[in-house]
């Protein structure tokens, strides 16, 4: 029997790796839960990271929230230096009907005033990190983007064709309702958020120039996504979440296409 280490052929070995069963010398023996393992097997071992209740990986740095904050603030500063981007990238129904669909998302990165920017970014700074830590980076990013898109699609459907809309408010309302849904699932007190949501709904109707349609679309989309995130267990939640998000995305795409046909007919395209 060959009693030499597979890594150090000049060393005697009487212990086998618990994973690959190759002989290993004392220099290559690494303690394992049961027996010893060789350095190669230890290096190739994938450590299973713990998951949050909603399937995200635990993290302490809200990278997605920071990226959105930096992007929105940077674009606003550029708009002050170079001029407004609203006509080029804002939510304009006629332009979307002509194929400039990206406006549904680019419009959510623009803001009309410093107060508009500060309100949305403060809300994102307040709600984003907690949600991102609960959901993980990917799920949080999906929540934010689809809520923003849901707000834009609702605005596209129900706003005047002459409107030019900008702002991340649809996504922010999505974060508010998502926090409420997830908070209720975790049996935490979300009464303050419910009051805040109600006040903003009332303000949206009373204050001219506020696109309450985008608020409504984002809020409904965010609540629907959060509801999906509360479903499933450790074995099937990823599949359920992916299917639910795909369903919402397909619905928003179909709603956009249907509205395109209406707008095109109205403006004679």
The catalytic residues are 169, 215
Interstrand relation of 30-31 and 36-37 (parallel, antiparallel or unpaired): antiparallel
Is residue 211 within 8 A of residue 136, CB to CB? The reply is no
Q: How far apart are CA 249 and CA 221, in angstroms?
A: 10
Which structure tokens are listed for 172? Answer: 């922010």
The rounded Cα 57 to chain-centroid distance in angstroms is 13
Q: How far apart are CA 224 and CA 37, in angstroms?
A: 47
Residue with tokens 């006040």: 199
Nearest residue to 260 via CA among 103, 87, 88, 107: 103
Which structure tokens are listed for 180? Answer: 């409420």
Name residues whose C-beta falls within 8 Å of residue 105's C-beta, 6 or more positions apart in sequence.
145, 148, 149, 152
Q: What share of the chain is helix, strand, coil (3-state, %, to 5)?
A: 65, 5, 30
Q: How far apart are CA 131 and CA 39, in angstroms?
A: 39
Helix axes 212-229, 237-267, angle to 10 degrees: 160
Nearest residue to 129 via CA among 201, 185, 68: 68
On the CB side of 203, how many CA atoms lie within 13 Å of its CA? 9
């Amino acid at each position: 029997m060959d009693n030499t280490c597979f890594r150090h052929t000049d060393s005697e070995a009487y212990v086998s790796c618990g994973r690959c069963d190759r002989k290993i010398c004392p220099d290559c023996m690494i303690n394992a839960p049961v027996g010893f393992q060789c350095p190669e097997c230890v290096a190739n071992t994938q450590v299973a990271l713990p998951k949050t209740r909603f399937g995200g990986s635990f993290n302490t740095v809200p990278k997605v929230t920071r990226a959105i904050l930096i992007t929105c603030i940077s674009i606003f500063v550029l708009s002050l230096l170079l001029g407004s981007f609203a006509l080029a990238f804002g939510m304009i129904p006629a332009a979307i009907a002509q194929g400039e669909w990206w406006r549904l998302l680019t419009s959510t990165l623009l803001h009309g005033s410093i107060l508009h920017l500060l309100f949305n970014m403060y809300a994102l700074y307040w709600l984003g990190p907690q949600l991102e830590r609960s959901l993980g980076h990917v799920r949080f990013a999906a929540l934010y983007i689809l809520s923003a898109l849901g707000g834009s699609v609702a605005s596209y459907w129900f706003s005047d064709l002459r409107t030019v809309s900008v702002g991340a408010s649809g996504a922010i309302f999505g974060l508010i309702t998502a926090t409420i849904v997830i908070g209720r699932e975790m049996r935490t007190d979300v009464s303050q958020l419910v009051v805040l949501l109600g006040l903003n709904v009332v303000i949206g109707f009373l204050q001219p120039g506020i696109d309450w349609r985008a608020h409504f679309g984002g809020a409904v989309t965010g609540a629907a996504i959060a509801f999906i995130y509360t479903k499933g267990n450790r074995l099937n939640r990823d599949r359920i979440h992916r299917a639910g998000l795909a369903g919402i995305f397909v619905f928003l795409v179909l709603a956009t296409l249907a509205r395109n046909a209406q707008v095109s007919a109205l403006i004679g395209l």
